[in-house]
Amino acid sequence: MKLNLFPLLLVSIVFPAFAASQEQPDWSDVFEEHNAEGTIVVVDGRTDRKPPMVFDEERAATRFSPASTFKIPHTLFALDAGVVEDEFQVFEWDGVERDFAGHNGDQDLRSAMRNSTVWVYQQFAEQIGAENAQGYLERIDYGNADPTVDNGIYWINGELAISAHEQIEFLQRLYRNELPFSVENQRLVKDLMVVEAGRDWILRAKTGWDGSLGWWVGWVEWPTGPVFFALNIDTPNRMADLAKREQITREILLAIGALPAP
């Protein structure tokens, strides 16, 4: 797939994710096909101001651990706090062999985002500090904004939680460069999120997994506007279920014309 990372001229107006959601019961077939329990919220801003399309409204309003989707705001925190200079700074691997091969080597912001390299973001968390993290979370009104943790990583093992609707709201603000961070840093984070692109569209997204629940959140940019999405599913089969995050989302986006046919 040809990559085109130049910004698109986007003209649509994005609107809050919570307004007048409409259920999409037909999407149950997609979840059933993949033997998955979960929810998805889609906000299509390409034409008129449409209400969010939702499968399982109750679950879409329920907060869960953000897992590695938190790398999106966490990168903004790290850039703002000065614990990372830019996308070229190299973080040296400590030599500890981890389960994911992509984590075993030096990293920069781009690889750490792409590979969900937890140890890089643990360093960020240590340097930012708990008090500053609390302040950042409150500033951006991120989920319950609670970084409390007894043992482990607060965005995976702690109390921090966010709903699919709130993920959409956060992504909309990032898309519009309306978060309380420099526009330069917001644009950098959006560049780090690029998954694939074509001549007139860009897919920006991030996965997340806390061991029992998986996320895929992001948006597809078109000249006529963005299509935001936030999916979470249960993962009782652990890693064997992880591919379902993108498979389900892509099928739904393809069905509404938000992604081009393969």
Q: Residue 204: which CATH number?
A: 3.40.710.10
Neighbours of 260 (CB within 10 A): 14
- Say if 9 falls within a structural domain: no
Give the count of domains, the chain.
Answer: 1
For 64, the token pair is 């869960």
> Which residues neighbour 7 within 8 Å (Cβ) at sequence distance 6 or greater?
187
**68 catalytic per annotation:** yes
pTM of the complete model: 0.89
- Give me the torsion for CA of 135, 170, 103, 250, rounded to 10°: 170
Q: What is the pLDDT along the chain (262 residues), one digit of tens a residue?
A: 444 444 443 333 344 444 455 555 589 999 999 999 999 999 999 976 678 999 999 999 999 999 999 999 999 999 999 999 999 999 999 888 887 778 878 899 999 999 999 999 999 999 999 999 999 999 999 999 999 999 999 999 999 999 999 999 999 999 999 999 999 999 999 999 999 999 999 999 999 999 999 999 999 999 999 999 999 999 999 999 999 999 999 999 999 999 998 8
4 domain residue, yes or no: no
Domain range for 71 is 22-255
**118 in any annotated domain:** yes
5 found inside a domain:
no
Q: Which of 12, 65, 68, 111 is catalytic?
A: 68
